Amino acid sequence: MTFDGHAREGRTKSGALPRREFLRHASMVAVATAAAGTVPGMWHAFARGSPDVPRLDVDGAVAHLARTAEGLVAAGEQSHAPSVWTYRLGERAWTKTADGAAFPSGTTLNAVAELRGSLYAAGSITQVVDTYPVVDGKKTLEVEVHETTPAVFSSSDGAGWQQVVRGIPGSPFGFLSAITSARGGLLAVGSEFLEPDVGEPSGLTAIRSRDGRRWDRMPLEGVVPPRHGEVSLVARDRGDYLLGTNGVDGAELYLLTGSASRWEPLPRPDREGRVTFTAAGPVAGGFLLAGVDQQARAHFWRGGRHGWRRVGSPKGMSSDATVLDFQRVGRDLVATGYSGTGGFATEVEG
């Protein structure tokens, strides 16, 4: 869609733009024109005004967001099927661009990232690889053996997806829980299982790619694998990366800065150590970190390498929501996750 297209779609039936929309588009036109019509210029334009990203509600969970040149892409599940939604800047609604039909059966999408105009969604594929009968008293049960393998899919438009990672050498079983663009390429992290059907992770796994096609294993130097655990979040603030792990013993945070190859442990913001960190996003002065305690209460902190400061729930967030991702859009943040009523992507005040 062209920039003019956005403006046209923003008009009312009578052809007139509401005052707020008019001012916003006027601002966009000015800045985008100044930026010679480049795509970053469009984001720059939105940064000066409020983009008013519409709310997305689904029957399921919106796991993760990626910012693209044209807007936002969200990945998650709806009605137990993998799903992708896109939002183009200036439009009034999200569009569902892919559902279960776009992915192999048993696909779960946990995260999405953008690299040089292409989208990459990370997760897993669970398939039945064997069945056998088991006598249980007078009944005979048909027992299924499931195999879960890490997977990455790529897409140019959010609608058609091709699998580019099918299992990881040395870690055939497991899942990828996060993917992010990093240092000119992509970094995906997840957990591995030792055998089919056992769903308790035995360790962490990470792969990287410069072009989205060839992927290599990489060590997560400095990260202590959590017991039965997983990577619960990877967030980026310019050159800093925040990684959260969550296991039965508790959760930990790590920071990778500059050109360093080793993740450094960060002090936890909660003294009790009973909070699971679920999401983080860039805000002024570091990260906004979201967590949930054992009583399902949400907690938020701001900070990073210089420590954490407890803050209240971002405005616009329902009290029973579990945040799974934050993405900065202009001055605001878009949060994704799920609550008692289903999954959501919604603008909050960061």
Partner 1 sequence: MCGSASCCIAESRLVAFSRINGVPLKYRFSSGWGFVTVRSKPGFQRKLNNWMGTLSLYSKTYGGKNFNSITWIGTAGAFTRKRGCHGRGRALDLNYIRWNNYTLNIFRGAHGASKRGRRRRYLAVDACCRQYFKFTLDGWYNAAHTNHIHIDNHTVPILNRGSRSDTVFVQSVCNNFNGAGLAIDGDWGPGTQSAFAAINRKWGFRTAECNPFRNKAHYREWLALVMKHGFKNAAAGYYKSSC
Residues at the contact surface with partner 1, assessed by CB under 8 A: 60-61, 63-64, 76-77, 80, 108-110, 123-124, 126, 132-137, 141, 143-146, 148, 175, 177, 191, 194-203, 225, 227-230, 232, 246-249, 276, 278, 292, 294, 296, 322, 324, 338, 340, 343
Nearer to partner 1, 73 or 109 (CB): 109
Q: Reduced to 3 states, what is the DSSP secondary structure of residue 202?
A: coil
Please report where in the chains the tokens 């990470």 appear, as a residue: 206
Q: Toward partner 1, which CB reaches closer, 148 or 155?
A: 148
CB of 249 to partner 1, least distance (A): 7
**The tokens 């900065």 sit on which residue?**
328
* Closest distance of CB 41 from partner 1, Å: 33
Residue in this structure with the two tokens 């039936």, named with its chain if needed:
13
Nearer to partner 1, 261 or 294 (CB): 294
* Closer residue to partner 1 (CB): 211 or 249: 249
CB of 110 to partner 1, least distance (A): 6
- Which residue from 128, 178, 171, 131 is spatially nearest to 149, judged by alpha carbons? 171
CB neighbours of 277 closer than 8 A, spacing ≥ 6? Answer: 232, 233, 244, 246, 251, 253, 289, 290, 291
Q: H-helix or E-strand containing 46?
A: helix 39-48
Query: What is the nearest approach in angstroms of partner 1 to the Cβ of residue 84?
Result: 13
CB of 28 to partner 1, least distance (A): 33
CB 111 within 8 A of CB 91: no
Instruction: At 46, list the tokens.
Output: 């939105």
Alpha-carbon torsion (305, 258, 180, 326), positive or negative: positive
Q: How far is the CB of 226 from partner 1 (least distance, A)?
A: 9
Which residue, 273 or 285, has its beta carbon nearer to partner 1? 273
| Residue (139 or 214) nearer to partner 1, CB | 139
- Torsion of Cα atoms, 5 then 7 then 9 then 10, to 10°: 170
